[in-house]
Amino acid sequence: MSLAEYEVLVHLSEALGGTMRMSALANACFVSRSGLTRRLEHMVAAGFVEKTTCPTDRRGMNATITPLGFDKLNEAAPTHVNGVRRYFLSKYDEADLDILTIFVDRPIEELESVAVATSECDSARCPSLS
C-alpha cells in the first residue's frame, strides 16, 4: 500500500461512519478532486473503499472505508509508525522536536480550518455526513 493510499484510509477511518464527501477527502489529503479520483481507482478495485452517490445530493459522491480497508489499515499501521520513528523522529532530540512542532502546527491549523469549512459546506449539501 502506498503512503497516499494509507492517508486516504486514515482519513476515512477517522470520519463519522467511515464516510466522507469526496471533495472533503480531497481537501484533507491536499490533492485535487481529480487527483483523489485517480488515487481511489485502485483502492475501490481492491475493495478497500466504496464510492457512492450522496443520498441527499445526487451531484455529490461519498467515499467509505470497507471492512477490508480497515483490515489493511490495521495491517499497515505498525509499519507506518515504525517508519516515521526510524526515518524521521529518531533524527531529532526533544528540543528540536519542540521547535519543529511549532513550525508544523501553525500551517496545519490553518489548513484544517479550510478543510472544516469545506466539510461543513459539504455536510449542508449532504446531511447524511453530519
Grid cell digits, residue 107: 500551517
User: Is pLDDT larger for residue 118 or for residue 102?
Assistant: 102
Q: Which run of H or E residues covers position 65?
A: strand 61-65
pTM, 2 dp:
0.75
Instruction: Tell me if 73 sits within 8 A of 58, measured CB to CB.
Output: no
130 pLDDT band (50/70/90 cuts)? very low
Q: Whole-angstrom distance between the N-terminal and C-terminal Cα of the chain?
A: 30
pLDDT, tens digit, for every residue of 60-97?
899 999 999 999 999 999 999 999 899 989 999 999 99
Provide the 3-class DSSP secondary structure of residue 129: helix
Structural domains in the chain, CATH included, are 3-129 (1.10.10.10)
Q: DSSP character for 128? A: G
